[in-house]
């Protein structure tokens, strides 16, 4: 999101969009998903993967006085559920206990029924 209107702006058309964040609650995630939607970045995605969101249910990031009306799962279902694309969330990628990474710009297969994300080509070539 911080790349909007720069030469590094994300291109999401036909892509699997991945995001994760640590220590921020549902209101923070909701605000950013609304922004992505209003910017047209969710309209043509092929799928969405949400990594672990440690401390995300009501983390320290926004302080103790932040409103607590929805759960993180409520927000994800509300903002992503009607997109008509496969969505997986809670994958052990990002800032969780298993610090896994994803390569950028490679082909991948997202199967929401099997709950899998498969990287189909190497990230590096020799």
Identify the CATH number of the domain in which residue 41 sits: 3.50.30.60
In a domain, residue 87? The reply is yes
Over range 60-67, report the average pLDDT.
Answer: 58
What is the reported pLDDT for 125? 78
Give strand ranges (E) for 9-100: 16-19, 47-51, 87-91
In a domain, residue 11? The reply is no
The model's pTM is 0.85
In a domain, residue 124? The reply is no
Cβ neighbours around 61 below 10 Å, total: 15
In a domain, residue 3? The reply is no
Q: How many domains does the chain have?
A: 1
**pLDDT at 49 > cutoff 90:** yes
In a domain, residue 1? The reply is no
In a domain, residue 31? The reply is yes
Backbone dihedral angles phi then psi of residue 50, each to the nearest 5 degrees: -110, 120
Strand partners, 87: 48
What is the reported pLDDT for 59? 52
Q: What is residue 66's DSSP assignment? A: S
In a domain, residue 105? The reply is yes
pLDDT in tens, 67-121: 666 788 899 999 999 999 999 988 888 887 877 788 988 999 999 999 999 999 9
In a domain, residue 52? The reply is yes
Over range 7-32, report the average pLDDT.
Answer: 91
Domain boundaries, position 70: 16-119
What is the reported pLDDT for 64? 63
């Amino acid at each position: 999101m911080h790349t909007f209107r720069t030469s590094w702006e994300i291109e999401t058309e036909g892509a699997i969009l991945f995001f994760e964040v640590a220590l921020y609650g549902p209101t923070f995630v909701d605000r950013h998903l609304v922004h992505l939607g209003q910017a047209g970045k969710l309209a043509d995605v092929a799928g969405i993967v949400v990594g672990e969101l440690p401390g995300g249910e009501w983390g320290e990031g926004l302080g103790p006085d932040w409103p607590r009306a929805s759960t993180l799962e409520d927000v994800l279902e509300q903002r992503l559920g009607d997109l008509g694309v496969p969505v997986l969330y809670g994958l052990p990628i990002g800032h969780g206990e298993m610090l896994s990474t994803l390569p950028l710009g490679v082909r991948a297969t997202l199967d929401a029924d099997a709950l899998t994300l498969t990287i189909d080509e190497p990230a590096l070539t020799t």
